[in-house]
Structure 1
Amino acid sequence: MKILALRLANLASLPGPLELDFTVPPLDAAGLFAITGPTGAGKSTLLDALCLALYGNTPRLRQAPGRDAPLPDVEGETVSTADPRTLLRRGTASGHAEVDFLGRDGRRYRARWAVRRARDKASGRLQTAEQSLRDLDDDRLLTAQKREFDRLLPERLGLTFDQFTRAVLLAQSEFAAFLKADDNERSDLLERLTGTAEYSRISEAAYRRAITAKRHVEALQTKLADDLPAKPEARAELERNADAAERGLADLQQQAKRLETHQQWHVADDRLRQAYAEGLRQQRDAEAHWHTLAGARADRECRRLLAPQRHRLLRQGALPNEIATLEGAHRQTLQALERARAAQHAAEQARDKATQQMDAAIQARQQAEPTLRQAREHAQALVTLDKQLADLESQHRDYTQQAERLAEQRRQAETRQLEHKRQRDEWQATLRQLMDRHERLDAARQAVQQAHDLAARRNLALGELESRWQEARRAGQAQRQLGERLALDEKRQAELTTQGKAARERLDAQERHYRTLHDFIERSRAARSESVAQLRAALREDEPCPVCGGLDHPFRHRPPETPEAAQLAAQHAQEEQQLAEARQSWEQAQRERDDLEGEYRAVMATTARCRQELQQADSRLTQAQQALAEHPLHAELNAIDAAERDAWLTHQRRQSDAEREHGERTLSALTRAEAELAPLEEALRQGELGLAQLEARRSALDEALTKQAERLPPLRRQRDELKNRLQSLLGEHASADAWQQQLEARQESARRQRDEAIEGCHGAEREQARLTQQASHEAERIEQLIQEGATLERELSEWRQAQPLLDDATLERLLAQPEAEAAREERELAEADEARQRAAASLGERRQVLLEHRRGQALANDDSGEALLGEDVEAEIDSRREALVAERQALAPKLEQAQQTRDEAVHALRDDDRRRARQQEGQAELEAARVEQVRWGRISELIGSADGKTFRRIAQAYNLEQLLEHANLHLANLSRRYRLVRGGSELGLLVEDRDMGDERRSVHSLSGGETFLVSLALALGLASMASGELTIESLFIDEGFGSLDPQSLALAMEALDGLQALGRRVGVISHVQEMHERIPVQIQVEPLGNGTSRARLVSV
């Protein structure tokens, strides 16, 4: 990954547009460059622009309060302090940040972030920020959607936002604080630097899972104790009762099955008797319908006799009409033949006339040919003259326009010369005024610079004093707040102890109440059973009863009324409601107890953290007060009343800022005046030269215009004479080509008319021949049809004499009958005959089946057919049916009572089976829950805690080891003397001095330069951890050099030189003047006043 270019406009104090291209000189060859400028000038804004273009956010904004701290915007709108759009410069309508980078795949990309206000006006509302990603190698837009941009950018760059801020933007000052911190502070810094907050959540989750697993085991044990099965003696008694009830029910079911068989015989007999009666009715209906079709049967016989001669009779009837039609067509053909002969004579006359007209057109064209040739020659000459005149006139207009433009350019040049002279005089006066009493510009600049530096040092001292004063106040305020919070936590802890005891007592009371009520209800239910009603409700239509096996369920929907049923149902529902309410009260008491217990643990952890933080606050207060007392300006501050110190500090800072800003404005004005004078002098010289060149060009144009004016009149006279001669030749014709086209069109029209006349003559001849042949064929066909009619008349008269049944009326009716109607009558006759035969066969079959069903039942003395169908047999069957109904009704109550007894015994046995199965399943579930409890208990013992501290410390120790491994690799390249190791405490750090026999000593013993090297190694180590296998060629180190002495600064510069020797381009952000002198390539950020700065690239 490598940053190739950075561009921005209208961000914070930098109006721009600004472009920093790292691929062109001098940045392309600079392995080390500095971003310089005074404090607050806007150096970090360049890094903000880098992060905005890539991720749409900045590290500084992520630490802002967010929604709780809104900022006022235009039109009464507010915007969050954490919103990146607040970086848009005030008073501007739009701004952007753009970065070109080399991705992990070796391709070049461009990421862009832009924001604007509504209507592109500074008074408009802020609009949603826009982000886009473009592939520069293919010049292809990859996306302009934010969600897709957030997905593609880390893939192409190879780093997420958190990884980028740790691997590319190195906050070296944080690692200096990391070195000197105690274990608690180092733990907080390590968590923030490495992003390991999730280990605290894992530790808390492991602790919660262990508590949940324990509660689950306790709940299962309680559930099993409340659902015990019957003892062995009671189980044996249940099995004996079930066997006796089953045997009694089987005997009664056998009787019911025998009666059911008799009932099924009677049902089948009724069904067969009804089928026999239906067969008799169908036979009578079929015979009656057959007799109604006697007329149709007679017509069928006549059609059979008529069929051989039917087509000849039809042909005889159609011949007269056909002959009459053909005779009419023959008369029309003869008339058309006369008309065709007249048309042929007219076509021959039109052919002769068209031939004469074509000969006349050819002769007229031949006579006009010489005149046409002469007219074309004159027209061509006229075109040549017109072209020459047009070219000269166009050139004349161009020369005239050029002369006008030269005159305007001269006027503008003279105006610019006057403006440049005025500006030069003004800047010379400004420069003399700024130099004041100094005769030389260098002396004036040096005096202003000294005053500016004095004000800047005073301002820094005041800022440090204010910072220490505020730190002391914050430390005191934090100490007081922590003391108050600790008192509240201790009070809450005592309250929770009291509430916890009361909750425990309520839980025990609710548990005892639930168990007492549950045992009482179970004993009550053992004395009664509703199993019969439950089994009855489970019956289904067309499915056998599980008790008796019958398919008829008379009491399924309307069970017999029992006085106790309603009372038992109401009592059962009331018992269930009482149990549910008692169980709910028990669970509610348990939840209250658990909530209080969890809150108590949390308050205990909070109290412990509060005591620890109070000790740290005491230490910070002492350190802050000591640092304030050591400041050089403390005596001045201490002389001011405590209530007025803030106002005094603000006044002193404003006064110092005003002096510093005055010096900056004066220096900027001197530099600008000096820079503006040289271009103005050069512009004046170039202006004089440009005026002379314009004068020379104007003289040349005047001479060319004079020559062109002399050539135009002769050419115009020659063109007019030629145009008159051409007009006399053409006469009324517009041109020679138009005259020739007219002659050719006349000749072509005459030719077409002659050809059309010849073709019309040939067509008339063909039509006359066709009509002659058609008239001959029609006469022959008429004669043939007359002879055919005579033959049919003779033959059909002989056939009619041989068929006396077919009189004229019958013959006429049958010939007129449609074939569909005849076919329908045939089908109706066939269907009626088939139905008559089918009804007779079906009646015989049904009679035989009924006789077979009644034989062997001892219904009559004679088992013949007639006796079994008599009235005596019917009366015997009805008598037997009534006796069967009475016997079944007497058996039904006994069967129901036996079934209820059997169901109660089986239900009690199955209820005990279910209890035993639930016990077995519950024991297995309990064993699995105990295994889970042991597993999570062991995990919680290793890493779990209510505040997440245990696993966090383990993970941070591991991350610290990883960090030290990577840091030592970089430290070996920067300084081979030292090596970082863990020691002294769980998160303690020691430095190993190889020049002193690997002696281990405190990191506090390092000098300023050595501390810088170790801090830089730690920063680079974290960058290696964050980037993984990705090669990062661009690094930015923010601050951290202001506290170094000259020797330590020299050592730090050597370290930076070594870092760039490893192939990385390093950008250092610092306001230390000594570093500016040591780094030749610089991006200087200069404040111009009014919240505006200018960034420029210099190579010193």
Structure 2
Amino acid sequence: MRLHRLEVAAFGPYAGREVVDFDKLGADGLFLLHGDTGAGKTTLLDAVAFALFGAVPGARGQVKRLRCDLASAETATEVVLELTVQRQRMRIIRSPEYQRPKLRGEGHTTQQAKAALHWVGDVPNGQPAEGVSRIDEVARTVQRLLGMSAEQFFQVVLLPQGEFARFLRAETVEREQLLERLFDTRRFADVERWFRELRTAKGREIEKHRQSVREWLARFAQTAGVELVEQAGKEWVEHIEEQARTTAAEAERRSKAANVEREKAEATWHDRRVRAERVRRVLAARDSLDRLAAQSKQRSEWTEELGSARRADTVTRLANAADRQEQRATEARETEVLARDAVVAVGFADPDADVLTLRERAGAFREEAGALTGLVAEAERQQRDRKRMIDLAELATYASAQATAIGEKLEGLPDRLRELRTDRDAATEARAKLDGVREREVEVGELLSAANDLPRLEKALHEAKGAEQEAIEAHLAAKAVVLDLRELRLAGMAAELAAGLDAGDACPVCGSAEHPSLALQLRETVSADEEDVAAERERRAELRRTELVTARHGAERDLAAVLDRLGGRTAEELAEHHGRLKAESAGLADVAARRERLEESVRSAEAEHEALTTERAEAEQSAATAQAERKTLAERVEERARRLEEARGDCADVAERKAQLGRVVGALDELAERRSARAAAVERLKEHRAAAEEAAFAAGFGTVDAAMSASRTVSRIDELERALAEAEAARVAAEKALAEPELADVSPDEVVDVESARLAAEHARVTAETAVAEWRDAVRREQELTELAGRFGSALAELVPAEENYAELDALTDVVNGRGQNARKMSLRSYVLAARLEEVAVAATARLRSMSQGRYAFVHSDAAGARGTRGGLGLDVLDDYSGMVRPAKTLSGGESFLASLSLALGLADVVAAETGGALLDTLFVDEGFGTLDGETLDVVMDVLDELRTGGRVVGVVSHVEELRQRIPTRLRVSKSRAGSTLKSEGGIPAA
């Protein structure tokens, strides 16, 4: 991937349109973005990230506030990036969502986010020639070509300030979270989860098997009726089965013997019952014949009574009918009298007229009432119209008063609306100014804190210089001691060699056989141990000197940075300025807080004015309409009143006159009907009496009363017929029973003992049934126990291999998830991340050795953490000077920057290789150079020079002044009240 051109407009601190030509800026392979703190250096990197992914890295991406507050309303916020990825050149145009003033009216509207991608040159296969204009399609196209996500891009291309220093010193959990974002380990996490879920599922299956074994064993014990012992198993089940078989055989033998005894007892009982029944039948027959002989006279009387009752039946029915008709005639006469009284009550003059006359007069009155029906409806309408006239008068009065009241309300609304609009505009202006004032307040507050911290920094620098001077003197003194001791030891060694020389023997040093001037032994001798101790003291003094020099550089750098930020301003000036800004901010906040409430008040006042105007017009219209309708209705009511007065006659109104006529017609009709019914009832009564007398003579009775005396009720007739029939049937049955052959030898005096035989048979039956039930229960229990034993054996056979498989799966799942036999306590995902971290450590070590001149190297550790916590992601530093492995937290500021930069470059190489992404021809390094001394900075610059090989372009983002001398190609970011601007330096023409 290579960047060619970047354009930003109203983005971040850039109020206007700024252009960066990366082709010209990176022609030498290395360029510098420099400027004051907060001028907008990192914003250019944010713009690159936003153009590609629609997001910016780090905490700045969480704010989602990308538009420049100083930009004019007409300037649209957008970023244009032209780049080449996989030999495809493209131009990406992207705008964020932001609020802009409305083109018409007041207030703000939301400008929606947009994105577009256009191809420059050849169009790739399968891509539209016009490019892509949807946000999601642009995102997919960019990620497909780059081969990496936004998170990976931010870590690989935009090496962020401080991120890798935190990664270097992070604990295992924090480091794991970053590596998981860069390296896709989801498939390994899926494997871990798959093993856990499989173990859970298999565990449930095992528990089901165990529960099945327990259930079959419990059911077996319950069926056998025994207590379940703790160690119950296959042998216990077989023993219980054998007992059940023995019990069933014994019960079968007892059942057969009891059945034989039961059959004998039941046969004896049956014979005695038959004999007793024959004796009873003989006795019953003879008793029946004796009773019938005694009742012969009574049966003759019953026969005569039954004959008379049957002859009188017809006469009785006719006489009863005549009595009922007489009752109806009496009732008809009574109702006629009541109807006559009703006719008199309604004022009819001739109540004794015949039926025909009554019906004629009722018809005449009915026609007169029908003629009044229409006038009754008009009378009801008259009442409603008069009530409507009263309502219309009240409505007209109320509407006129309402119109007057609404007019009074409308008089004061225009002035109130103007005041509200003025206050709302002031609140809107205050809100627009508030953010700028608050930012200046925060900026001045930070400067005030820095000014108050100035005495402490000056004191720290003074103390650091004093400590540095003491360390230098201590180091020089220790070094002088080492040199003195080394000189004395060398002299002592020469004396020792001279003491061992003999004349004529060759010298072991020079080989000469002559020894003209032998070295003499000094009074003091120095041993090798003494020299080593002095050398160790000198080395520690040198380390102390180096540390204090670094500390003095840091104190000078901190003090210079604060003085540079203050720009000559004192704490008193900054405090006064901060107070003014704080007061101004509070005042603007109070006014701006009223913006929404005032806007709502303006809308409410406008709506109220419009509503009141409409209500007044409606009230005036309602009053005029009511008055017109009342006038028309009054004329109609007056004309209708004259006609109703003529029709009512002597009654109060027409309805009462019609009701009176209706009552008269009803009374006349009722009297005519009742008079006709009475005459018909009297005639039918005469007919019924004549028919009853004729029937009495025909049945042999002298009078109707004689026939009525011989009459009997239906129940009595049925009783007589049943008694006679039962007596005859009893005689026939008794004679037939005595004639049967099987009763010929039966004496009525014979006594048969049935009860003792019954008791013996019942006892034998109960005994046999009990024995059979016990036998069946024993057989059933034996069968059930045999079946349950088989089920128990099958469940036990399934459980054993399942438990063996589960134990193996359980151990393997623990190992995959970093527990159990996993000595390093590393899960599969952590193991993969540890392998990736090891690759990163190897790649970063090559950079770090070059930058540290061979002193430092990264060491990856996969050991478990403290107190058994998981490990695998340890990262320490090997110091070749001491040969010891040191924690990364012990590195100094400059050393930490070298290690962080090496780690970032190594991680970028590994991530690019892992994702298979496009070749990264452009790389940015953001800040951190201020911690390096001159010599180390030369080494780092050599490494950055090496990164340029192969055509790669490296951009350095820093405010360090020394880098301006080392990197000739520069782009300066300047900041002012109007916004940040770009200016090319170092011979590069302005973009």
Return the TM-score normalized by structure 1.
0.35
The structure with the largest alpha-carbon Rg is 2
| TM-score, normalised via structure 2 length | 0.38
